[in-house]
Amino acid sequence: MIPNDYSDVTQQVSTGSLPAKTRVEELLQDAYERYVDVDDGMLAYYIPILGEVDPSLFALSLSNVGGTVQGVGDVGQSFSIQSISKMFVYALVLQELGHDTVRDHVGVNNTGMSFNSVMAIELNDGHPMNPMVNAGALATSALMPGLTAAEKWENIREGLSAFAGRYLRMDGEVYRSESRSNERNKALGRLLKAHGQLEGEPLEIVDIYTRQCSLKVTSHDLAIMGATLADGGVNPVTGERVVSADVCRDVLAVVAANGLYEKSGEWLFEIGIPAKSGVSGGIVAIAPGKGAIGAFSPLLDEAGNSVRSQLAIGHLSRALGLNLFASAPQRPEKET
Ligand code: DON
């Protein structure tokens, strides 16, 4: 068991700051221009309506923890949040139920398998493993406070809206398209239920989850939502406290380990910041204490992560000094 009781030690923070606004603008523009012509990857055809999206869309936004939001490209284009919702619902559930309860119910470790793997559940005694894969996200949404499915859903919508700082609406077409084609998620829900690992009625939970995935956002929204987690839980634009600083720390650790599914280790090695992807092409990457990048471009790699969004965030992480593992010696090296 990894120790986790440090309640008598005050949590200190590791912070830094982003370059000035004009420099950030130049770097966003540079990242956009470098990758705007990349057309590798595939649309998410398994949700029919996502197979009809314009693959050339590309947007990059950055929000710092002071609430300044900058962007380049199709920043006004909305798209469904998809799996990125998992990170924010997890934050809301952690806030309500606490670190230990949610860790015990949902887990934190990587599956090493695809986001909708049945095998991952079976290989782990029916456990959902972590909240960023579909099984764990179903288990997490089931824990959302609310006496009825409708109440749970409204609490999720309200909570995600507080992260964005504006009322988020569902994309009805995406919801209906996914509802007609999500047999696999229904199977995951039933399998978890059979293992005693899901609270409530599986099909109701799958419906709540499908709704949360259909919420419409822009790259600006993603940047602000991410920056709320970078800012100790306070939305930097509205000033509203959405979750506690402890919740942000826990969420970002889980996202670092699992946010890009079976590619999470590789991502952390190359890019060095927690990031969460969704199959409509969004990725949000968070630099604790600094801010967050929201990227959108619909063509995906084989793990379901946007190709251009990964490239652009990788570039920005380096150019803006976001990698959490990067350091330079404080004193000059000794002459030998
Ligand atoms: O459940 C699904 O398959 C989708 N609603 C979300 C999956 C997803 O976004 C995976 N991410 N890259």
- The 3-state DSSP class for residue 42 equals strand
Per-residue pLDDT of the chain (336 residues; tens, 9 = 90+): 677 777 787 877 766 789 999 999 999 999 999 999 999 999 999 999 999 999 999 999 999 999 999 999 999 999 999 999 999 999 999 999 999 999 999 999 999 999 999 999 999 999 999 999 999 999 999 999 999 999 999 999 999 999 999 999 999 999 999 999 999 999 999 999 999 999 999 999 999 999 999 999 999 999 999 999 999 999 999 999 999 999 999 999 999 999 999 999 999 999 999 999 999 999 999 999 999 999 999 999 999 999 999 999 999 999 999 999 998 888 988 887
110/139 same-domain check = yes
d(Cα 266, Cα 263) in Å, to the nearest integer? Answer: 5
d(Cα 143, Cα 120) in Å, to the nearest integer? Answer: 21
pLDDT at 93: 98
Domain-embedded: residue 303: yes
Domain with 281 in it: what CATH number?
3.40.710.10
Active site residue 216: no
**pLDDT tens sequence across 308-336:** 999 999 999 999 999 999 988 889 888 87
Nearest-atom number in ligand 1 for the CA of 277 is 12
117/191 same-domain check = yes
Nearest-atom number in ligand 1 for the CA of 260 is 12
Domain-embedded: residue 333: no
- For residue 2, the CA-to-ligand 1 centroid distance in Å is 30
Domain-embedded: residue 2: no
In 3D space, the residue among 9, 177, 1, 193 whose CA is nearest the CA of residue 103 turns out to be 1
Last residue of a domain, one of 160, 188, 213: 213
Number of domains in the chain: 2
Count of C-beta atoms within a 10 Å radius of residue 331: 5
225/277 same-domain check = yes
Domain-embedded: residue 327: no
118/149 same-domain check = yes
Active site residue 83: yes
Is the shortest distance between the CB of 213 and ligand 1 below 6 Å? yes
Is the shortest distance between the CB of 278 and ligand 1 below 6 Å? yes
199/91 same-domain check = yes
- For residue 286, the CA-to-ligand 1 centroid distance in Å is 20
Domain-embedded: residue 247: yes
224/253 same-domain check = yes
71/119 same-domain check = no
- For residue 82, the CA-to-ligand 1 centroid distance in Å is 5
Domain-embedded: residue 312: yes
Task: Give percent helix, percent strand, percent coil of the chain, each to the nearest 5.
Answer: 45, 10, 45
Domain-embedded: residue 11: no
pLDDT at 14: 65
User: 305: domain range?
Assistant: 21-82+215-320
130/158 same-domain check = yes
168/189 same-domain check = yes
For residue 324, report the phi and psi dihedrals to the nearest 5 degrees: -70, -15
d(Cα 61, Cα 24) in Å, to the nearest integer? Answer: 10
Write out the two tokens for 304: 């379901």
103/209 same-domain check = yes
Domain-embedded: residue 230: yes
107/169 same-domain check = yes
Last residue of a domain, one of 198, 213, 228: 213
104/190 same-domain check = yes
